[in-house]
Amino acid sequence: MEERINFDKKRIILGILLAIVFLRLSVWFILEPERFMRNFLSSETKNVIFGIVASVFFLAGLYSIVMLLPRKCAIIICEEYIIDRSRYEAIGKIRWDEISKIQRLKKKSIQFFFKEEKRIQSPNDNLLKKFLRWAHNWEYKKSIIISSVFLECDIDTLEMKIKKAYRKSRYKKNKVLPKKPSPTQDLLNKT
């Protein structure tokens, strides 16, 4: 059985608008650093540096949110794996047997821990995807974070569906099936 969780386009549009507002504010730090001297940082140079760093971060965030607009499905949950496409930098298909632990992270996220350090980057990943993974999760080699911010369902429903599929996969893996007798064994038993 496969469950699909779609994006909420209204939330994506709201995220784009917020990223634009913060990007404009960070550009304002670059263009008029003297305006923020008393309120924020003590020198124009620090304000310009802050504005440049913030501009790069919010521009990357804006691009990553815009790239979600054409996508319909964010997460696919099956008995064998989960496919995460909920962010631009998401790694895609993750098998349940690669995961050691699943836990709730703050109010809107779920964190998956890998049994061994997983190669998160693929050869096709660009610098932006690597930067965004690092910016959202400092332990990106040991775990990934799936957020419900842009999804149609809330975090409780998402967590329930994920943990249900994870438990089901572990149960199937640990279930011991009776051995089927070999044809020679079957003949010996009849005589």
pTM of the model: 0.75
Token duo for residue 163 = 């943990």
What would the pLDDT profile of 42-101 be if each residue is shown by its tens digit?
788 888 898 999 999 999 999 999 999 999 899 999 888 999 899 888 888 888 888 888
How open is the CA angle 31-34-36, to the nearest 5 degrees? Answer: 95
Q: Residue 67, Cα to own-chain centre: how many angstroms?
A: 14
